[in-house]
C-alpha cells in the first residue's frame, strides 16, 4: 500500500475558517480604534497638564488600579499569575516574556509627549511603521511556542504597502521645526508594540488567561513610569493644576481593554495579520480624530486620508488566505 507524502503544516491563520478569520481581524481592527482613542486622551491630558510623564503615569497607573481591584474577584486571573511565576522560575519561559509592559510604558509615554505636538495621525503613522517591521520579523522567526510562519510574497507585499501608506500619510503632516525625537519616539514605540503583542500571547497561553497578561503589562509599565515621573517631577516641578474633564482620565481603562483583546487574538492570527488589522484601525480613527477633534488646530491633508485607505488595502492583501503560494525562505 503506497503512502503519499504529508503536506507541510498550514499556518493557523490560513487553516482557519474564513468567517472566523474575518471576525478575528474585525476584533483586531476594533482594538486599533481603542488605541487611537487612548492616544487622543493621553495626548490631550499631557498637553493640559504640561507634563507628559505624569500624564503617562496617570493613564497606566489607573489601568493598574482597575486590574488590581478586578483581580480580587477574578480567580482564574490569580491562578494565571501563579502559573506564569512558576514557568519563569522553572525556566519554561524566559523572564523577558513577562516584561511586555515596558513597551506599553514607552507607547503611553510617547502618546503623552508627542500627540500634543503633532496630532494623533502623525503619531500613529510613526507607530505603524515600527509595528509593521517588528511584526513581520517576529512572524518570520517565531517566538516561544509560536512557530515561524511562512513569509509569502503576499505578506511581504501587504507589509510593504503598509509602510508605503505610512510614508504617504506622514509626508503631508511633517512641518519645519519638529524635533527629531518627536519622530523617533513613535517609531521606537511601534517596534515595541509588535514585540509586546507576541510575548503577551505567550503569557496568555501559559496563564490560560488574557487577564493575567494584561495585569502583568500594567504592573510592569506602571512601575517604570512611576520611577520616570518621580525623576521628572524632581527636575521640573509639580503641575500647577489638573484638568477637570473626567474623560481625560479614562486612558488606563481603554488600555486594559485593547491589551487584553490583542493578547487573546494574536495566537490565532499571528503577529503580522493582527498587527496590520490593528494599525488600520489606528490610522482610520486617528484621521477622524484629527478631522473632527484635533489636539491642535491644523488641517489634515488629503494624503493622510489616502494613506489610511492604502493601509486597509494592505490588510486585505496580507490576510486573504491562499491555498497555494510560494514561500520566501
DSSP secondary structure of 161-219 = HHHHHHHHHHHTT--TT--HHHHHHHHHHHHHHHHHHHHHHHHHHHHT-HHHHHHHHHH
**Does 4 map to a domain?**
no
- Whether residue 63 is predicted with pLDDT greater than 90 in this model: the reply is yes
**Does 146 map to a domain?**
yes
- Whether residue 35 is predicted with pLDDT greater than 50 in this model: the reply is yes
Rounded Cα distance between 251 and 304, Å, is 25
| Tally of structural domains, the chain | 1
**Does 243 map to a domain?**
yes
pLDDT tens for each residue of 164-188:
877 787 776 666 667 778 878 988 9
Q: What was the pLDDT predicted at 15?
A: 47
With bands split at pLDDT 50, 70 and 90, how would you rate the model's confidence at 159? confident
In 3D space, the residue among 121, 106, 108, 128 whose CA is nearest the CA of residue 279 turns out to be 128
Residue 138 near residue 271, CB atoms below 8 Å: yes
Average predicted confidence (pLDDT) for the chain: 82
With bands split at pLDDT 50, 70 and 90, how would you rate the model's confidence at 328? very low
**Does 303 map to a domain?**
yes
Q: What is the pTM of this model?
A: 0.79
**Does 11 map to a domain?**
no
Q: What was the pLDDT predicted at 299?
A: 61
Q: What was the pLDDT predicted at 131?
A: 78
Rounded Cα distance between 11 and 105, Å, is 31
**Does 327 map to a domain?**
no
Rounded Cα distance between 224 and 220, Å, is 6
* Mean pLDDT to the nearest integer, 8-31: 72
Q: Say which residue, 259 or 41, is predicted with more confidence.
A: 41
Rounded Cα distance between 32 and 262, Å, is 9
What domain range is 204 assigned to? Answer: 16-319
Q: What was the pLDDT predicted at 326?
A: 41
**Does 173 map to a domain?**
yes
* Mean pLDDT to the nearest integer, 308-318: 76
Q: Is 106 exposed, middle or buried (0-12, 13-18, 19+ CB in 10 A)?
A: buried
* Mean pLDDT to the nearest integer, 289-307: 73
**Does 325 map to a domain?**
no
Residue 94 carries which DSSP code?
Answer: -
Q: What was the pLDDT predicted at 120?
A: 83
Amino acid at each position: 500500500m503506497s503512502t503519499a507524502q504529508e503536506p507541510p503544516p498550514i499556518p493557523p491563520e490560513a487553516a482557519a475558517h474564513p468567517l472566523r478569520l474575518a471576525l478575528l481581524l474585525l476584533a483586531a481592527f476594533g482594538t486599533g480604534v481603542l488605541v487611537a482613542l487612548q492616544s487622543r486622551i493621553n495626548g490631550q491630558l499631557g498637553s493640559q497638564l504640561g507634563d507628559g510623564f505624569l500624564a503617562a503615569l496617570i493613564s497606566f497607573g489607573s489601568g493598574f488600579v482597575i486590574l488590581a481591584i478586578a483581580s480580587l474577584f477574578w480567580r482564574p486571573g490569580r491562578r494565571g499569575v501563579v502559573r506564569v511565576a512558576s514557568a519563569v522560575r522553572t525556566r519554561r519561559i524566559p523572564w523577558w516574556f513577562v516584561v511586555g509592559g515596558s513597551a506599553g510604558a514607552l507607547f503611553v509615554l510617547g502618546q503623552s509627549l508627542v500627540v500634543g505636538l503633532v496630532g494623533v495621525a502623525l503619531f500613529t503613522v510613526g507607530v505603524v511603521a515600527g509595528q509593521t517591521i517588528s511584526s513581520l520579523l517576529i512572524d518570520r522567526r517565531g517566538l516561544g511556542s509560536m512557530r515561524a510562519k511562512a513569509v509569502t510574497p503576499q505578506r511581504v507585499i501587504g507589509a510593504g504597502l503598509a509602510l508605503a501608506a505610512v510614508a504617504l500619510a506622514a509626508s503631508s503632516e511633517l512641518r519645519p521645526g519638529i524635533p527629531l525625537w518627536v519622530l523617533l519616539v513613535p517609531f521606537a514605540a511601534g517596534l515595541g508594540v509588535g514585540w509586546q503583542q507576541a510575548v503577551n500571547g505567550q503569557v496568555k497561553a501559559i496563564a490560560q488567561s488574557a487577564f493575567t497578561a494584561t495585569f502583568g503589562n500594567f504592573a510592569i509599565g506602571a512601575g517604570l513610569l512611576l520611577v520616570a515621573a518621580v525623576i521628572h517631577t524632581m527636575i521640573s516641578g509639580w503641575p500647577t493644576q489638573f484638568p477637570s474633564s473626567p474623560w481625560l482620565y479614562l486612558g488606563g481603562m481603554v488600555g486594559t481593554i485593547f491589551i487584553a483583546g490583542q493578547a487573546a487574538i494574536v495566537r490565532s492570527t499571528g503577529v503580522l495579520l493582527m498587527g496590520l488589522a490593528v494599525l488600520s484601525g489606528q490610522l482610520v480613527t486617528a484621521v477622524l480624530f484629527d478631522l473632527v477633534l484635533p489636539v491642535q488646530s491644523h488641517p489634515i491633508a488629503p494624503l493622510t486620508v489616502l494613506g489610511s485607505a492604502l493601509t486597509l488595502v494592505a490588510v486585505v492583501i496580507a490576510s486573504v488566505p491562499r491555498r497555494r503560494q510560494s514561500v520566501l525562505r
